[in-house]
Amino acid sequence: MDARFGATVPYTVGVEEEFQLVDPGSRELSPAVDAVLAAGGSDGSAGTGLITSELSQSCVEMLSPVFRTVAELSAALPGLRREVHRLARECGVEIASAGTHPFSDPTGQPLNESEHHRAIEQEMGWVARTQAIYGLHVHVAVPDGDAAIRAVGALSRYVPLLIALSSNSPFWRGEDTRLASTRIKIFEIFPRSGLPPVFRNWADFERHIGTLVASGSVPDYSWCWWDVRPHQRFGTVEVRALDAQTDAVYTASLTALIQCVVATAEDHDLENPLLTAENKWRAARFGMDATFYDFTRGHEIEARAMARSLVEKLRGTSQDLGCEEELARICEILDRGTGAELQRAAFEASGSLEGVVDHLVAGTVPD
């Protein structure tokens, strides 16, 4: 596949937000995506409108336009979410944004019947049926393949921090898993998931994908579902490690952080993914209460301190990119609480997981 790097101005951004479709009475997941797509005039394929389908019929994915700045994305997100909400309401369901549904059985959700999704189910078997999970994917345009590889390497180091900041899936199948992000551990059941391999340059990446295709392991690069990957068709670097965010402000803030790291990729130390994986586990388990180990410098650092330090390091870049306000709001996540922390607070306040779903529904669509 021809790469489209350089097709847009460097560091433009876009997001994909995966929303749960929820029955307003039972608060259970509802396999209503076909109806919602029809209401939106979409056939479910990417590029045909605002929304598309994912593996589970209980998921609708919102595809944002490409934005020049994160500030523009931030201003547009509430309206985009309201439009998806309107379409869902027409079909008798609500949308909720979080990494997992608090109590519906994920393996009981029907899967989509498109050719692409049938191929995944055929390849993955039962694993495909566990994937009623919901992510936020962030895309940042880069000028060429080598820039994409540098950005993938820089972002990989920060995957644990990004998971901690975005953690929003503490409940699964009716239980508090004691994880901050249950979703990321469920997704790791997939092959070619997790942290990406280390690539020296774009040619190295192409050789890797070519080997996988020649061996019959994958049809193309898109079947490598790493936490961070080059996306040839869009000409972007894509971060896939994030839980779906209940608050659109959090979506914009995380996008600003990612955009700034991509723009400064050459300034960040690379790290062995086997070592980064240790911090990734701490992030999935403890969220922003995690303590990471800086393997480059040989000392521990609390996740909250790491986040504040990185925001300060990137402040000048955020001014250049026009996302200073959005990047600064990373600190609001630290002060207000991650999605996982807010979900647990909603459970304490309501005494029920149905109350948590109500919290998610109310928080997903701005007034």
Percent of the chain with pLDDT over 70: 98
The answer to whether residue 44 scores a pLDDT higher than 60 is: no
Backbone dihedral angles phi then psi of residue 10, each to the nearest 5 degrees:
-55, 140
Q: What is the 3-state secondary structure (H, E, C) of the chain?
A: CCCCCCCCCCCCEEEEEEEEEECCCCCCECCCHHHHHHHCCCCCCCCCCCEEECCECCEEEEECCCECCHHHHHHHHHHHHHHHHHHHHHCCCEEECCCCCCCCCHHHCCECCCHHHHHHHHHHCHHHHCCCCCEEEEEEECCCHHHHHHHHHHHHHCHHHHHHHHCCECEECCEECCCCEHHHHHHCCCCCEECCCCCCCHHHHHHHHHHHHHCCCCCCHHHCEECEEEECCCCEEEEEEEECCCCHHHHHHHHHHHHHHHHCHHHCCCCCHHHHHHHHHHHHHHHHHCEEEECCCCEEEEHHHHHHHHHHHCHHHHHHHCCHHHHHCHHHHHHHCCHHHHHHHHHHHHCCHHHHHHHHHHHHCCC
C-beta separation of 192 from 226 below 8 A = yes
What pLDDT score does 41 carry? Answer: 83
- Give per-residue pLDDT as tens, 207-229: 999 999 999 999 999 999 999 99
Q: Which amino acid is at 181?
A: S
Asked if residue 1 has pLDDT above 60, the reply is no
Q: Is pLDDT at 45 greater than 60 in this prediction?
A: no
Mean pLDDT, rounded, for 262-289: 95
Residue 73 confidence (pLDDT): 98
pLDDT for residue 243 is more than 70: yes
- Residue range 354-363: mean pLDDT, rounded: 98
Whether residue 47 is predicted with pLDDT greater than 60 in this model: the reply is no
User: Contact at 8 Å (CB) between 169 and 100?
Assistant: yes
Quickly state the pLDDT bin for 118 (edges 50, 70, 90).
Answer: confident
The confidence score (pLDDT) of residue 17 equals: 98
Residues 296-355: pLDDT tens digits? 888 999 999 999 999 999 999 999 999 999 999 999 999 999 999 999 999 999 999 999
Report pLDDT for 43: 63
Kindly report, residue by residue over 123-145, the tens digit of the pLDDT: 878 777 887 899 999 999 999 99
Question: pLDDT value at position 147?
Answer: 97
CATH 1.10.287.3510 assigned to 13-364: no
Distances, alpha carbon 181 to alpha carbons 73, 159, 343, in Å: 25, 13, 12
Whether residue 46 is predicted with pLDDT greater than 60 in this model: the reply is: no
Reply yes or no on whether the pLDDT at 233 is more than 60.
yes
Average pLDDT over residues 51-72: 94
Is the pLDDT at 288 greater than 80? The verdict is: yes
Is the confidence at residue 356, as pLDDT, over 90?
yes
In this predicted structure, the answer to whether residue 48 has a pLDDT above a threshold of 60 is no
